[in-house]
Amino acid sequence: MTRTLTLRRPDDWHLHLRDGAMLAAVLPETARHFARAIVMPNLVPPVVTTAQASAYRDRILAALPPGSSFEPLMTLYLTEDTDPDDVAQGAARGLIHAVKLYPAGATTNSASGVSDFDRIHPVLERMAKIGLPLCVHGETTDPEIDIFDREAVFIARTLDPIRRAHPGLRVVMEHVTTSDAVDYVTDAGDSLAATITTHHLVINRNHILAGGIRPHYYCLPVAKRETHRRALLRAATSGHARFFLGTDSAPHPDAAKLAPCGCAGCFTATNTLSILAEVFDREDALPNLEAFTSLNGPAFYRLPANEDRITLRRTPPDHPAQIETADGPLTVFDPGFALNWSVAP
């Protein structure tokens, strides 16, 4: 039985770090294990300009534990008024690594996102020209569409037309949850990749709703039926170059999760690597874990893979069930099965 596994240090290609006291509480959880992360821009107000992204990066660096070399990779929140020149300048400076498309109203803090997709063509054209990736929250916001169908409908109605209009545009479909998305990405060429979260490899919709409602498993896109989870698992463990880890670790204090209208998001930064090792081990796919966590992401983002290594040991992890924050406790995602792997200190 494999007892230790050494990997290039992982990166997280989709992370919510928030700001202020929450940033201070959650950043060490990611910086402990990950070298870099694509930092989502859905703050209140959102990060819409290069100047705002630069200031946010400074706040993240200031909140890092002493001695940490964690590198935040900044993104811009796409609005109908985004200035293509500002995006191009941010990318040329090496500050901006992607632009994030939120359909208006699709998820947490997405009210300033895009409603009229015709208005974003100039900025997409510029991004295609300079090779800057577009990260997409792939859910339609049409209230007539069932929430479990919103990803598949978004691909057909919105994403595919955008990609046809901008053939050179490099796109990351974020946090895919369906076999439809896995098939769409698999069948596409090199310009389309997808991130897969930790929690979507673990839970299906029964985990949220059967035997009592479990708000800590509620996230967006919402987990789908088991056949979809199996498709995600196959994609993640296959080693396929265009699927990589984006945890979508999205902290909300328990008071905001355990409410009549609870927030969407699973907080997985603390135990993601233990969970992934367990999941890959069960699939007999540990040899492909490094591709998923540490190689495929940098290759798509045209960055070098990390040179330093982490070691996973077959020892149960020892982490708190909750993190203390200024807004009260924040629950760490519970996969619902025993974890046997931990990251060596």
> What DSSP designation does 238 have?
T
By the rule CB under 6 A, 107 interacts with ligand NCD: yes
Q: Which is nearer to ligand NCD, 48 or 220 (CB)?
A: 220
By the rule CB under 6 A, 42 interacts with ligand NCD: yes
- With CB under 5 to 8 Å by kind, the binding choice for 219 among Zn ion, ligand NCD, none is ligand NCD
**Catalytic annotation, pick one of 12, 180, 248, 281:** 248
Residue in this structure with the two tokens 């063509």, named with its chain if needed: 121
Query: H-helix or E-strand containing 171?
Result: strand 171-173
Distance CA 266, CA 247 (A): 9
By the rule CB under 6 A, 134 interacts with ligand NCD: no
Helix (H, G, I), strand (E, B) or coil at 312: strand
| Shortest Cβ 150–ligand NCD spacing (Å) | 12
Buried b (16+ CB within 10 A) or exposed e, 168-199: ebbbbbbbbbbbbbbebbbebeebbbbbbbbb
17 backbone dihedrals φ, ψ, rounded to 5°: -105, -10
Q: Which is nearer to ligand NCD, 21 or 92 (CB)?
A: 21
| Shortest Cβ 286–ligand NCD spacing (Å) | 27
By the rule CB under 5 A, 12 interacts with Zn ion: no
Site string for ligand NCD, 176-215 (x = CB under 6 A): ----------------------------------------
| Shortest Cβ 155–ligand NCD spacing (Å) | 16
By the rule CB under 5 A, 139 interacts with Zn ion: no
Q: Which of residues 234-253 bind Zn ion (CB under 5 A)?
A: 248
Clarify whether 248 is annotated catalytic: yes
Buried b (16+ CB within 10 A) or exposed e, 325-343: bebeebbbbebeeebebbb
Distance CA 60, CA 17 (A): 8
CB atoms within 10 A of CB 250: 27
* Interface residues toward Zn ion, by CB under 5 A: 248
* Interface residues toward ligand NCD, by CB under 6 A: 16, 42, 107-108, 137, 219-220, 248, 250, 264-265
